Amino acid sequence: MKPPCYEYVAPDTLAGALRVRAESEDSVVLAGGQSLVPTLNFRLANPDTVIDLRRVAELATIDTRDGMIRVGAMTRQRTLERNDAVLARNPLIRETMEYIAHPVIRNRGTVGGSVAHADPASELPCLLTLLDGELTARSSAGARTIPAAEFFEFVFTTALEPEELLVEVAFPVLEPGEGWAFREFARRHGDFAVAGAGATLLLDDAGRIARARLAACGVATTPVRLRAAEEALRGVEPGSEAFRAAGELARDAVTTVDDTAASADYRRHLLSGLVNDVLTRAAARAGGPR
């Protein structure tokens, strides 16, 4: 289990990195290496070029101004998770990130790496899907912004073009009074989720649900929004009945087939329970302006 041969570049600027990216036939990015290196060690990947971004300081930033938390792709997961300004603006980020692997992996793993890797069971892609986040991709030709809903295309597949790099990940802040929760189940601590669900819940003046957002990971080839359940919750009194019904509606989102981690039947059951749970907890946190 040793990495194969490849060409290696460690540019010191983003511009330099983009140039290499454009010039390379088949390049991968060495960000935190926590997904890439296992893949290389198993020789499941055999890239021509590895672009190591560790020296590109301009990508390791967190900016919490305006309504968005803008995170440079090379920001370590642990750094984002532990940032107090981020916590104040969107506590769901920390709650969700605590489920990613173990701290020792998050110490090295980057936010951009997790998103670009696009494992359908990953938490950050799920969170971006839930919050309607935005991704910024860049190539030598320029930058473009991609909504999360269009970014994740398939297992390990995103809307990034081969010559593009992911440079920034933007998480919207929560609305005042918006409730939030994330929960997942993995059979072993820190493993990728068998299934996970996140929710945000905004109530109107009458205490009814003005907006519910729900997303799930681990159940399909990409993270998914649970639109049917969201629709059903709009205008409804929050409560166990509504939440259980939402959980039932979530079942159909499961499209993965039986695998070694779980049967599809069980995943449906699990997801419906998780949805019920996150809605219940989000409702408890929802309320007046924060």
Ligand X SMILES: Cc1cc2nc3c(=O)[nH]c(=O)nc-3n(C[C@H](O)[C@H](O)[C@H](O)COP(=O)(O)OP(=O)(O)OC[C@H]3O[C@@H](n4cnc5c(N)ncnc54)[C@H](O)[C@@H]3O)c2cc1C
CB of 94 to other proteins, least distance (A): 15
Q: Is 31 in the site for ligand X (CB under 6 A)?
A: yes
Bridge partner residues of 119 (DSSP) = none
Which pairs count as long-range contacts for 42-46, CB under 8 Å and 24+ apart, including other chains? 42/1, 43/1, 43/3, 43/4, 46/4, 46/6
Q: Is 9 in the site for ligand X (CB under 6 A)?
A: no
Query: Among 24, 35, 90, 136, which residue sits at the site for ligand X (rule: CB under 6 A)?
Result: 35
CB of 64 to ligand X, least distance (A): 20
Q: 55 vs 52, 160, 165, 167, 168, CA distance in Å? A: 8, 22, 15, 14, 16
Query: Among 29, 216, 253, 271, which residue sits at the site for ligand X (rule: CB under 6 A)?
Result: 29
State how far the Cα of 117 lies from the Cα of 29, in Å rounded to an integer. Answer: 10
Given other proteins, ligand X, none, residue 71, with its beta carbon under 5 to 8 Å by kind, binds none
138 vs 285 by CB, closer to ligand X: 138
Give the sheet arrangement for strand 209-217, strand by strand.
Answer: 179-185, 195-203, 209-217, 224-225
SS3 10: coil
Residue from 165, 170, 230 nearest 200 by CA:
230
CB of 290 to other proteins, least distance (A): 27
Query: Among 24, 34, 83, 139, which residue sits at the site for ligand X (rule: CB under 6 A)?
Result: 34
What the block records as the tokens of 83 is 């940032």
State how far the Cα of 31 lies from the Cα of 76, in Å rounded to an integer. Answer: 9
Q: Rg of the chain over CA atoms, in angstroms?
A: 19
Quick one: which segment of 5-13, 32-40, 175-183, 234-242 binds ligand X (CB under 6 A)?
32-40
9 vs 124 by CB, closer to other proteins: 9
State how far the Cα of 127 lies from the Cα of 60, in Å rounded to an integer. Answer: 20
Q: Is 163 in the site for other proteins (CB under 8 A)?
A: no
CB of 59 to ligand X, least distance (A): 7
Site for other proteins in 21-80 (CB under 8 A): 30, 33-34, 37-38, 40-43, 49-50, 52, 54-55, 78
Site for ligand X in 230-269 (CB under 6 A): none
Residues lying near ligand X in the complex (CB under 6 A) are found at 28-36, 38, 73, 100-101, 105, 109-110, 112-114, 116-117, 119, 122-123, 160, 165-166, 190-192
